[in-house]
Each structure stands twice: as C-alpha cells, then as structure tokens.
A and B are shown apart, each in its own frame.
Chain A
C-alpha cells in the first residue's frame, strides 16, 4: 500500500495529538468536570483501633494463643480470602455491610499501614496522621494543605467537619473549616423577635467581619463567628435531608446522614470529616460481641447505610471514604481482657470508584517473625500511610501530592483507584 505523504502527515499529527495534546486537554476537562464533583469522606476511629480484630488472621495459631479471651472464633469471621502472602483473612462478624462492599469490589483493605518508629501516644500519633509527618505533630494538616490549593475565593463550605473541634488534619494556613454536627443548634438565636432579631444577626455578622489588626487571636475567633453565620442557611438545607435508608441512631450514623444530606443537596464540599470514638480498648474488649463488637457494629452499620444511601442517589462513584486510626494495638491481650497501644494499623477505602481487595500482607504473629517489632509485641508497618494519602490526592482529588505531603510517597502506594 502506497502511503501518501499527505496521509502520513495527517496520521502523524493525529498520533502526536493523541499522545500529547489530547490527554492534557482531557485532563483539563477532567479537572473542570469530573474531579470537581468528587468528594472525600475521612473517618477517624479515635483511640487506636485493634486492627487484628477488625481484619482477622483466623488461621494464624498465634492469633488464638496470644489472645485467649478476645480472639474472634474462626467460625464467626466473615471470610474475605487470602492476601498476596497467602494469609487467609476475615472481617469481624459485625462488619456484614462492609463485607458486602468488599464482595462488590468496592472496599479496599490496606493492611499494616503506619510509619517507622510508630508513636504509641494517642495524641502524638493522631497529630502525625494529621500532619502526615512523623517528625512533626504541630502545624497544618494534609487536608488543610489540600484546601489551600483550591482556587480563590474558597467557598465557606469547601470542607465540612461533623465534629465540634477542628482535627489536626484539617488545620489549614488559609481556609477555615466549619464544624456542623447538630441541626438544632446550628442557628443564630436572639432574645428578641422580628426586626430586632434580624438586626442582631446582621450586627453579629458585621462585628465578626472586623479584621482586628494587631490581634490575630481575636481575628481567628471572629473568623469562626463569621463563617458560622455565613453557613447557617446552607447547612440548614443539608440538615433537613430525608435519606433513602435508615441510619443507625447514634452519633456516627447521624454524622454520616448529615454528610449524605450535604452531598445530595449539592453543597459542594470537597472534604468531610467524621469521627467515632471508644477504640482505646484497654479492658473488657470482648470477642465477637462485647465492647469491641459494639464498636464494629457502629462502624459497619453506619458506613453501609451511608454507602447504600449515596449509591441509591447515584452519587457513589463520586464519593470515596477513607477510614484510619492513630495506631493498631498490641498483639497479645493484657490482663484486663483488652489490648494496649501498638503500632501498625488498618486503613480502609470505600466507594463506587474504588478498586476493592486486600492490599499489603498480614503479619505472622509468631514471635520472632520479621513482620513484627518491639520484641514481637507489635505489628510492624508495611505500607506508609502517606502513600495512601498520596494515592487519594493524585488519583482522586486530582492534585499533586508531592507539595502537600512534602515528599514523594507514590512508590508502593496501594492502587486503590
């Protein structure tokens, strides 16, 4: 076949176009359209989740010998298959909803997530997961630095915190994150009615607009006040939401319901923060039931209700949930039927666009095994938690993770997207 010079040029240009120009063009479209509707829901399990009783190595004899009263019986675990090292694993029996998501291929379980020389202090470790820097527990957080990359002016509801105080992860140089959890109190009350009440709200807003030159602490309190008054009316729309499923009637379920409401009515927040506590199970943790069973029920039922609800709304593909805790717990149970502070933990990623499955490998709990540390007392980390953050930033939120994380953590990142 004789190829005309003209055709060659045309195909050549086409090739070049496809190879270089078009993808850049598509990326821009993606930035403008697809990515703009994507959102991230971050769930923090406060207190240090006992990862070994969340994702259970139920064929490891040392799991049972080291946890004589709190091990989950093999017959009760919800099997999820074997990981890359051939270790067979199952979810806690109260995580039925999450197992459904796993079977649908929409739940990623990232094993042994952590960092070198894991802090066993709740506060330092929580701050480290917030700053994404094991050497610094102060300063801005990784989500705060993400918010700082958003184009100005940043919407007052660019992020939505469902807890009362601002977690380290959301601390930003420039963007204040409203805390909105309770519909009945997120309003402006007045001792008067009618015109006077309206004037009071306007006056409070105007007072809070004072930049307070020379007094940054006053300016900061003013900024929370201003942001509150500015977000009351929009937040009320989300809080009036009627879900498609029944959420568990607990703080975690209600917070997730609020998030689903905000997503559904189109508030446009990029990041939501939800947390649930009680994971510092030093005592009376229980096996399948008990205190830890209650924690797992709260977590699993809440997340499954949320995932089902937004899927019913057709919004699951634009929504990703990541779940983390500040550390895992010791392998051996203590004398109180609980577990003390340990090292590596479990991260979970859930959503309609998530590539589900088991990531990383489980530890062998046999004393002396190289997957353990601290005289085989704790699980050694395998996946740097920052690589999960990097994946989320680069592949989900569509920003460059390197400046946000102050380093390149893409290597070894679980390919959850």
Chain B
C-alpha cells in the first residue's frame, strides 16, 4: 500500500506478501529496523493463522466435503494461500515458498506412488494433526530460518522427497542416483563442482535411506503413514571417496562402516555439502535474486559477505536474512520493484490490496496453474523458471485475467469503500493508486488510465459510474506490467 513508508512497503513486498489494511495498522508507525525485527523474529508473533480459517472477515476456503488440508491437496493449497494472505508471520510463509522452490517436490508423482490421501499428507500434513511425520511444507515452515544443514538432513529423510527422488528404493545391491545427484546439483553446491564419480559415491552414501510403512498401512486410511527408516542391511558399508573434502581436515573419503553406524555417511556428506563455500555462494546469489533484485547482477561484495556470514553462522539462515534485509543493497531505492513476482505472491498481494470479502480461495487454483505456478506441483526438481521466466503471453493473460476475476468479485465492496474519495475522477485515481501499489507509472500509462476514466462521459460520481470505473481501473492496475514487479 502506497500509504506506507516506501522502505517498509518494499520490505513487506519482499519479506512478506505485500501490505493490506492489517499490515498498514501493524507497520504504519514502525521504523524500518523495528519492522525487520518484527518480521525476522517471528516467534514473537502468534502462530494462529490456521485457527482463523473460516472466520467471515477473512478470505474463504471452499471444499466439496469437510475442509481437510492435511489429506486433500486442493484444501492444502487453499490453506497455504490463506496463510500467505493472513499470517502474522509473513516471512515464515515467504521462506516456506522459497524452500518449496529450492527443494521442488511434485505432488503428482507422490499421488501415482501412494494415492491421493497419502500424497497430500506427505506434502502438507500439519505436525500432530494425524499419526505419522509432518508434511514437507511443514518442514519448510518449521525450519524456515533455521540451520540449512539440518534442513537438508531432514529433507533427505522426508517421505515426500524419498518418493519424489526415489530414495525409498536406493539399496546397496542397486544404487539409485536420483537423490545423490540432485542433492549436489540443485540443493547445495551446484553443477560444475562435482564429478560423475561423485554422483555414484553419493548414491552409495544414501543406500538404505528408505521408507517403511506403518503397521496395517492402508493408503486410504488417514492414520496410516510412511516414515523414514535407515535399513542397515541395504546400506553399502564400503568407503566412498569424493572429489571435494568431506571432513574439516580435508579428508575426501567417508570411511568404511557397517550396521547402524552407516547412517552417519549421509550426515557427513550433507554436512560437507551444506558447509561447502560453493553452497554458501550459491545461496547468497539465490537470496540476492529473491530478496534484493533480479534486474541487477549480484554484487560480488554482497555475495562474499553473505556467504561468509552463512558459514560463520554454521549455516543458520536467520542471521543471513536479517543481514540482507538491513543491508544497504536491500535499502537502495533502485532495487524497489526490481523483482518479478511469483504467481502466489502476485495473487496474495492483489487479494490483500483489492479485498477478500467473501472471496473463495478455491477460485485461485486454475488461475495459478495458468500463471505457471500451481503450488505443490513444480514442473521438475529444478523448481520453477523464476524471474523473466514467469512471463509469456499466456501467463501474462492469466495474471491480467485474475485481476479481472478478483475485481469482478469485489466490485461492490470496492466501490463502496472508495466512493467517498471518488466524487471526482482525480479523487478516484489518487485513492486507487494509494491502494493498489504498482511500480512507478510513466506519464503515458497514467494518461491512458485517465482517459479510461473519462471515457464513460462527464464525471457525475453516480453509484453506477463509480462501480464501473473503479472496477475497471482496479482491473487495469492489477493486470498491468507495473503491478507484476515487486
């Protein structure tokens, strides 16, 4: 919202999902540094967002039966969007989205493997809601700003990941390279920093990191589950040598060890990968694009300082994100609106700014798919093509048409709330631009918008005129290129 301090507005777009009326109240009188602390130290904020699902003054969820976000993927999608819009801990949801893209796992493969109910459970079950491990999304939320090393270990033992990258069938007799390759290429050091023989060795490291089913497992039983189990019999006990150091003394070989001790192989490899300087730099560059700018190349000094801090903090993410949000690179006015919004960021921000009265979040599913980001369904393990990759004619139309859909549905409350300021055409324009925050509008698009307001004839301020022109103006703003940047 443009009525906020521009630094705080920028902060809320990047470290949250934008600012609606609730954020204006919360952050309106805060200094930027207080706002950063408020967002980063989110444990001090109530974790009550799920409990607010169903309240009439919030966005609505709709389900064909009982709303079951722990076992139904469509309901889980609605719950996550609800959290993005209404959480008092927006950075936690933002980081969950970041990690979902980083460790991109697709529901559809889990569905083929284990059926719809178990697949949804593996993706999104809230801890303690049902028997069995929490879903992958909850892992991301719990470890949103925690130790990266621990997050990778948990991901390597995460049932969804064990199905997604086939770790569940990785055994000494027939090693399976899928997870071993991607943990290096995509999750940590990146391509160019490992060899093909490292891939073989990594596959052997994770042999025996499999799944086991709960007693009496039935895939349509919500209390049934699959959980990580280290199977010592299926683990390759032999030594594994890598092209990069595994231990602090520079040793490149994981020693031979049998039995239950063999599980340490995977911990040692992940520890080495998580604390590898290339991982530190890769995360720093990814954070640059996510938080600072996709328009400017990462400043080498930013990368080096962020990477150094990450290593010094034993792979803890919280101090890293705190540093970034308070850094001069983040505060530089030239990086405002220098990031292409991800579809859920765009959708959540539009709902926060336009309004959510009676708005049912199941309506967002198809538009998000058409924009190219159906939650829990990345195109592949590399995640989504972020940045300019979000934009094609089809995805831009999907964004623009979502603006129309949202505004159509909010037409009456939008007109009613803006009517006092819409007694003149200029009043309407100013009020709407104050509410719907675009990247700065050049004079020609601004002129186009004025002409659109004037095209209905002389301004009378009638109810019908306000309803038509306010909705049309909001639609044009939300559907504009300027609005897609955050």
Q: Which residues of A contact B (CB under 8 A)?
A: 46-47, 119-124, 161, 164-166, 176-182, 185-192, 195-196, 199-200, 203-204, 206-210, 212-213, 215-218, 220-222, 224-225, 227-228, 231-232, 277, 280, 282-283, 333-338, 340-341, 374
| Chain A CB within 8 A of B436 CB | no
| Residues from chain B with Cβ under 8 Å of A122 in the complex | 380-382
Pairwise interchain contact A200-B392, C-beta atoms closer than 8 A:
no
> CA A26 – CA B412 in complex, angstroms?
66
| Residues from chain B with Cβ under 8 Å of A119 in the complex | 191
| Residues from chain B with Cβ under 8 Å of A340 in the complex | 176-178, 181
> CA A334 – CA B404 in complex, angstroms?
50
| Residues from chain B with Cβ under 8 Å of A333 in the complex | 174
Q: Please give the distance in Å from A95's CB to the nearest CB on chain B.
A: 23
> CA A172 – CA B379 in complex, angstroms?
23
> CA A46 – CA B378 in complex, angstroms?
13
Q: Which residues of B contact A (CB under 8 A)?
A: 165-166, 169-171, 173-178, 181, 185, 191, 196, 199, 294-295, 338, 340, 370, 372, 379-382, 385, 388-398, 400-401, 404-405, 407-408, 411, 439, 442, 444-445, 448-449, 451-452, 455-456, 468-469, 471-472, 474-476, 479-482, 484-485
| Residues from chain A with Cβ under 8 Å of B389 in the complex | 165-166
Q: Please give the distance in Å from A228's CB to the nearest CB on chain B.
A: 4
Q: A179-B393, A335-B175 are in contact. Are A218 and B481 (CB under 8 A)?
A: yes
Pairwise interchain contact B401-A179, C-beta atoms closer than 8 A:
no
> CA A166 – CA B388 in complex, angstroms?
9
Pairwise interchain contact A228-B397, C-beta atoms closer than 8 A:
yes
| Residues from chain A with Cβ under 8 Å of B405 in the complex | 189
| Residues from chain B with Cβ under 8 Å of A179 in the complex | 392-395
Pairwise interchain contact B455-A199, C-beta atoms closer than 8 A:
yes
The 10 closest A-B CB pairs, nearest first, are A335-B174, A179-B392, A228-B393, A221-B481, A336-B169, A189-B404, A178-B393, A179-B394, A191-B408, A340-B177
| Residues from chain B with Cβ under 8 Å of A188 in the complex | 397, 400-401
Across the interface, A220 reaches (CB within 8 A) one of B388, B407, B468, namely B388
> CA A122 – CA B379 in complex, angstroms?
12
Pairwise interchain contact A217-B185, C-beta atoms closer than 8 A:
no
| Residues from chain A with Cβ under 8 Å of B407 in the complex | 191
> CA A338 – CA B109 in complex, angstroms?
14
| Residues from chain B with Cβ under 8 Å of A161 in the complex | 392
Across the interface, B482 reaches (CB within 8 A) one of A165, A218, A231, A282, namely A218
* B171, B474, B484 pick with most chain A CB within 10 angstroms: B484
> CA A119 – CA B192 in complex, angstroms?
10
- Can you report 29 A-B residue pairs in the complex whose CB atoms are below 8 A from each other? A47-B380, A122-B380, A161-B392, A176-B393, A188-B400, A189-B404, A190-B404, A191-B407, A191-B411, A191-B472, A191-B475, A199-B472, A203-B449, A206-B444, A206-B448, A207-B476, A210-B444, A215-B439, A216-B295, A217-B340, A217-B388, A221-B340, A221-B481, A225-B400, A232-B397, A335-B174, A336-B170, A340-B181, A341-B181
Pairwise interchain contact A217-B401, C-beta atoms closer than 8 A:
no
* A178, A186, A191, A334 pick with most chain B CB within 10 angstroms: A191
Across the interface, A200 reaches (CB within 8 A) one of B171, B395, B411, B475, namely B475
| Residues from chain A with Cβ under 8 Å of B469 in the complex | 196
Pairwise interchain contact B452-A199, C-beta atoms closer than 8 A:
yes
Q: A190-B475, A334-B175, A335-B176 are in contact. Are A207 and B392 (CB under 8 A)?
A: no
> CA A126 – CA B192 in complex, angstroms?
16
Pairwise interchain contact B380-A280, C-beta atoms closer than 8 A:
yes
> CA A127 – CA B187 in complex, angstroms?
19
Pairwise interchain contact A224-B396, C-beta atoms closer than 8 A:
yes
> CA A220 – CA B392 in complex, angstroms?
10
Q: A207-B445, A336-B169, A341-B177 are in contact. Are A277 and B393 (CB under 8 A)?
A: no
| Residues from chain B with Cβ under 8 Å of A215 in the complex | 439
| Residues from chain B with Cβ under 8 Å of A47 in the complex | 380
- CB-based A-B contact count at 8 angstroms: 196
Q: Please give the distance in Å from A260's CB to the nearest CB on chain B.
A: 19
Pairwise interchain contact A204-B401, C-beta atoms closer than 8 A:
no
| Residues from chain B with Cβ under 8 Å of A204 in the complex | 400, 476, 479-480
Q: Please give the distance in Å from A279's CB to the nearest CB on chain B.
A: 10
| Residues from chain B with Cβ under 8 Å of A206 in the complex | 444-445, 448
Q: A206-B448, A374-B196 are in contact. Are A336 and B475 (CB under 8 A)?
A: no
Q: Please give the distance in Å from B363's CB to the nearest CB on chain A.
A: 13
| Residues from chain A with Cβ under 8 Å of B397 in the complex | 185-188, 228, 232
Across the interface, B394 reaches (CB within 8 A) one of A120, A164, A199, A218, namely A164
Q: Please give the distance in Å from B403's CB to the nearest CB on chain A.
A: 8
Across the interface, A335 reaches (CB within 8 A) one of B170, B196, B474, B481, namely B170
> CA A196 – CA B295 in complex, angstroms?
35
| Residues from chain B with Cβ under 8 Å of A208 in the complex | 481
Across the interface, A185 reaches (CB within 8 A) one of B165, B370, B449, namely B370
Across the interface, B396 reaches (CB within 8 A) one of A181, A225, A338, namely A225
Q: Please give the distance in Å from A336's CB to the nearest CB on chain B.
A: 4
When C-beta atoms are compared, the residue in chain A nearest to B444 turns out to be A210
| Residues from chain B with Cβ under 8 Å of A166 in the complex | 389, 392
| Residues from chain B with Cβ under 8 Å of A46 in the complex | 379-380
> CA A357 – CA B173 in complex, angstroms?
40
Pairwise interchain contact B385-A200, C-beta atoms closer than 8 A:
no
When C-beta atoms are compared, the residue in chain B nearest to A185 turns out to be B370
Pairwise interchain contact A121-B393, C-beta atoms closer than 8 A:
no
| Residues from chain A with Cβ under 8 Å of B476 in the complex | 200, 203-204, 207
Pairwise interchain contact A178-B388, C-beta atoms closer than 8 A:
no
> CA A274 – CA B132 in complex, angstroms?
41
* A47, A121, A333 pick with most chain B CB within 10 angstroms: A121
Pairwise interchain contact B372-A164, C-beta atoms closer than 8 A:
yes
Q: Please give the distance in Å from A161's CB to the nearest CB on chain B.
A: 7
> CA A47 – CA B408 in complex, angstroms?
40
Q: A165-B385, A179-B393, A338-B166 are in contact. Are A189 and B176 (CB under 8 A)?
A: no
> CA A176 – CA B468 in complex, angstroms?
34
| Residues from chain A with Cβ under 8 Å of B178 in the complex | 282-283, 340
Pairwise interchain contact A283-B169, C-beta atoms closer than 8 A:
yes
| Residues from chain A with Cβ under 8 Å of B474 in the complex | 191
| Residues from chain A with Cβ under 8 Å of B485 in the complex | 217-218, 221
Pairwise interchain contact B391-A220, C-beta atoms closer than 8 A:
yes
> CA A342 – CA B139 in complex, angstroms?
32
> CA A221 – CA B341 in complex, angstroms?
11
> CA A195 – CA B472 in complex, angstroms?
11
Across the interface, B468 reaches (CB within 8 A) one of A185, A196, A210, A374, namely A196
| Residues from chain A with Cβ under 8 Å of B174 in the complex | 333-336
Q: Please give the distance in Å from A254's CB to the nearest CB on chain B.
A: 14
> CA A161 – CA B394 in complex, angstroms?
10
Q: A228-B394, A334-B175 are in contact. Are A190 and B472 (CB under 8 A)?
A: yes
| Residues from chain B with Cβ under 8 Å of A120 in the complex | 181, 196, 199
Pairwise interchain contact A124-B401, C-beta atoms closer than 8 A:
no
> CA A336 – CA B475 in complex, angstroms?
50
| Residues from chain A with Cβ under 8 Å of B472 in the complex | 190-192, 196, 199-200
Q: Please give the distance in Å from B339's CB to the nearest CB on chain A.
A: 9
Across the interface, B294 reaches (CB within 8 A) one of A191, A217, A335, namely A217
> CA A333 – CA B295 in complex, angstroms?
44
| Residues from chain A with Cβ under 8 Å of B185 in the complex | 121
Q: Please give the distance in Å from B156's CB to the nearest CB on chain A.
A: 16
> CA A338 – CA B173 in complex, angstroms?
14
Q: Please give the distance in Å from A239's CB to the nearest CB on chain B.
A: 12
> CA A236 – CA B404 in complex, angstroms?
20
> CA A215 – CA B294 in complex, angstroms?
12
When C-beta atoms are compared, the residue in chain B nearest to A170 turns out to be B392
